[in-house]
């Protein structure tokens, strides 16, 4: 089945960079790069930021849960680790969170590998159950802890992050456009890493493990090793997202950043968009995040709970009519569109070349 990640052989024609297959993504990238300059309302810019953030987090979740086939419903634990570690370093050591975020990512990688090592040696839902337990234990511990390493975190009240401006080595931003470009770059990086992993030996081995682990191990693939690579990558990018979230809102609350809701949102976005695909989580975010925002804005204040029902209805319809995700459906249309566009471009080029040749003769 064709998708955004699988192009047809017919469409792979020479022509350099100036081909529709390359120009169409470049046009979308240019459109996103210019968005802050055209959106005058901060509300719409904030919605776009949340779409990109949701796409980023779902892509990070997809690295292990989509490609390795290991369901996680407690990825919020890694988000919280990244958010709290970078924030505590920022408050206590006055180190910019854009450097502290890598310390949080390192801690998250150690935690992710420590969980995955025993769980990946077993069969069944052990990894999913362990991630849920980890997230809940962390949430309860943070909600009942006032200080960590001598720094006050105010437990369940949440921690307000001081805004110290654009001072040297801090680089906090007061303009939403800056945060927009930060998350856009982060999304491009995780999409690129996902693409490279999918096309690499690791991606092929993970596909074999996901399809039939016994058969993969029978031909010499170390399933535990490659699953640990996937969880390490996923934990790293997920924790970076937690640090970004903390700086975007200048507030971290255990109920949100460590809650089950965030874990489920990441999972649903990737599943609806298309698991084990490069652009599936991105497409899922562009459907579900605006749907959630729209139903919340229209029905959230007047009819409490109705927006959740409508949001759930969108999820049910998407999963029922698109079992392989949005990527599977739109990918076919996209490839057909590109094929026809390149055929017309190729035909036009040949006609022009023929006219020039006849003109010279």
Examine residue 23 and state whether it is found in any structural domain, yes or no: no
| Band (65; pLDDT cuts 50, 70, 90) | very high
| Band (10; pLDDT cuts 50, 70, 90) | very low
CB 79 within 8 A of CB 258: yes
Handedness of CA 34, 39, 40, 43 (dihedral sign): negative
Percentage of the chain surpassing pLDDT 70?
83
pLDDT at 196: 95
What is the average pLDDT score of the chain?
84
Examine residue 285 and state whether it is found in any structural domain, yes or no: no
pLDDT at 95: 85
SS3 of residue 3 by DSSP: strand
Alpha carbons 333 and 257: distance in angstroms, whole number = 37
| Band (9; pLDDT cuts 50, 70, 90) | very low
Examine residue 242 and state whether it is found in any structural domain, yes or no: yes
CA angle in degrees (0–180, nearest 5) for 276-280-285: 135
Alpha carbons 229 and 179: distance in angstroms, whole number = 29
pLDDT at 321: 79
Element (H, E) at 7: none
Domain residues for the domain of 95 are: 40-259
Examine residue 214 and state whether it is found in any structural domain, yes or no: yes
Examine residue 354 and state whether it is found in any structural domain, yes or no: no
Beta strands in the chain (DSSP E): 147-148, 151-152, 159-160, 251-252
Examine residue 297 and state whether it is found in any structural domain, yes or no: no
The mean-pLDDT minimum among 83-92, 261-270, 300-309 falls in: 300-309
pLDDT at 341: 73
| Band (301; pLDDT cuts 50, 70, 90) | low
Per-residue pLDDT tens digits for 218-261:
999 999 999 999 999 999 999 999 999 999 999 999 988 999 88
Examine residue 104 and state whether it is found in any structural domain, yes or no: yes
Number of structural domains (the chain) is 1
Examine residue 86 and state whether it is found in any structural domain, yes or no: yes
What's the mean pLDDT in 67-74? 92
Per-residue pLDDT tens digits for 74-112:
999 999 999 999 999 988 888 888 899 999 999 999 999
């Amino acid at each position: 089945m064709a998708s955004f990640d699988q192009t047809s052989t017919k469409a792979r024609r020479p022509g350099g960079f100036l081909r529709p297959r390359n120009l169409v993504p470049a046009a979308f990238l240019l459109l996103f790069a210019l968005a802050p300059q055209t959106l005058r309302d901060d509300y719409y810019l904030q919605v776009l930021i949340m779409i990109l953030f949701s796409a980023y987090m779902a892509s990070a979740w997809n690295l292990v849960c989509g490609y390795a086939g290991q369901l996680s419903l407690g990825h919020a634990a890694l988000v919280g680790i990244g958010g709290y570690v970078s924030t505590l370093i920022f408050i206590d050591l006055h180190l910019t969170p854009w450097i502290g975020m890598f310390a949080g990512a390192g801690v998250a990688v150690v935690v992710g590998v420590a969980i995955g090592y025993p769980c990946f040696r077993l069969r069944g839902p052990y990894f999913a159950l362990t991630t849920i337990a980890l997230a809940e234990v962390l949430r309860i511990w943070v909600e009942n802890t006032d200080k960590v390493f001598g720094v006050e975190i105010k437990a369940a009240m949440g921690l307000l992050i001081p805004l110290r401006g654009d001072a040297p080595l801090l680089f906090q931003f007061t303009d939403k456009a800056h945060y927009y470009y930060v998350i856009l770059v982060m999304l491009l990086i995780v999409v690129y890493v996902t693409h490279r992993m999918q096309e690499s030996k690791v991606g092929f081995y993970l596909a074999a493990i996901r399809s039939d682990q016994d058969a993969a191990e029978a031909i010499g693939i170390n399933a535990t090793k490659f699953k640990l690579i996937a969880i390490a990558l996923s934990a790293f990018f997920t924790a970076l997202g937690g640090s970004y979230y903390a700086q975007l809102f200048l507030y971290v609350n255990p109920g949100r950043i460590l809650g089950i809701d965030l874990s489920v949102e990441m999972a649903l976005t990737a599943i609806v968009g298309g698991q084990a695909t490069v652009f599936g989580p991105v497409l899922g975010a562009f459907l579900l995040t605006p749907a959630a925002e729209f139903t919340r804005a229209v029905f959230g204040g007047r009819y409490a709970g109705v927006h959740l029902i409508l949001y759930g209805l969108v999820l049910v319809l998407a999963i029922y009519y698109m079992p392989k995700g949005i990527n599977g459906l739109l990918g076919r249309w996209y490839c057909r569109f590109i094929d026809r566009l390149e055929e017309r471009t190729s035909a036009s080029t040949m006609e022009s070349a023929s006219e020039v040749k006849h003109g010279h003769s």
